[in-house]
A and B are shown apart, each in its own frame.
Chain A
Amino acid sequence: EAGVTQFPSHSVIEKGQTVTLRCDPISGHDNLYWYRRVMGKEIKFLLHFVKESKQDESGMPNNRFLAERTGGTYSTLKVQPAELEDSGVYFCASSRLAGEANEQFFGPGTRLTVL
């Protein structure tokens, strides 16, 4: 079974530019999550999809961040325009079951550097 994949692995952009991160969850996983780790701090929750619907987006920092999951398969996270403080590692995770706490499988992350 293929794991969670993320693209790109690294992205370096200038302040004010736009970046789109992609996540492909494990096939059949309805739950998809985005997290990020900034400056060696804790990994922070951004949002949670159940299929194509946003279940919880309480962690999204501001309206410069837009997440989509059209069709309930892969997801994209767009940052527009990027700011310096957006630098960090963005992780995607997926889990199979709804309605019970269960293992979230993480992707390798996308390291975003905003100059």
Chain B
Amino acid sequence: GENVEQHPSTLSVQEGDSAVIKCTYSDSASNYFPWYKQELGKGPQLIIDIRSNVGEKKDQRIAVTLNKTAKHFSLHITETQPEDSAVYFCAASPYSSASKIIFGSGTRLSIRP
């Protein structure tokens, strides 16, 4: 079945530096790739998503890239701030219609002051 792998599991960066989280997926039919941020005591919240007809998308300090040939996608956070500390999940959805999301195992990002 569909599998999403995520690395690293933990990441610590100095405030102001960039953070990169990488994911791979197995199902070539996947065409929707959301990224979720989970803060303590809360559920996952969508921060950015990308669809398979786009190679890159940016929203302020956050950018995602997608390489469908290699089945890789990644999240880039620039100028990190303390409030970026959280667990980040990449995910893939194997269908074009509203359906289940396959999550990666999560990355715990810590921003050092």
State the total of A-B contacts with C-beta under 8 angstroms: 69
Question: Interface size (B, Cβ < 8 Å)?
Answer: 28
Cα(A23)–Cα(B79), bound, Å:
37
Q: Which of B32, B44, B93, B97 contacts A106 (CB 8 A)?
A: B44
What sequence of 0s and 1s flags, for each residue 22-48 of chain B, a beta carbon within 8 Å of any chain A beta carbon? 000000000110101000011111100
B96 and A45 within 8 A (CB): no
A95 and B100 within 8 A (CB): no
B43 and A103 within 8 A (CB): no
B88 lies within 8 A of chain A by Cβ: no
Q: Inside 8 A of B34's CB, which chain A residues have their CB? A: 103-104
B101 lies within 8 A of chain A by Cβ: yes
* A 21-66 contacts with B by CB, 8 A: 31, 33, 35, 40-45, 48, 50, 55-56, 58-59
- Would you mind naming 18 contact pairs between A and B with Cβ atoms under 8 Å apart? A33-B100, A33-B101, A41-B105, A42-B6, A42-B103, A42-B105, A43-B44, A45-B100, A55-B99, A58-B100, A93-B43, A95-B98, A98-B97, A100-B96, A101-B51, A101-B97, A103-B34, A104-B46
B contacts, CB < 8 Å to A: 4, 6, 31-32, 34, 36, 41-46, 49, 51, 89, 93, 95-106
A contacts, CB < 8 Å to B: 4, 31, 33, 35, 40-45, 48, 50, 55-56, 58-59, 91, 93, 95, 97-109
| Apart from A4-B43, A103-B49, A105-B46: 18 A-B pairs, beta carbons within 8 A | A42-B6, A42-B105, A44-B103, A56-B99, A56-B100, A58-B100, A91-B43, A91-B44, A93-B43, A101-B31, A101-B32, A101-B51, A101-B93, A101-B95, A101-B99, A106-B44, A108-B41, A108-B42
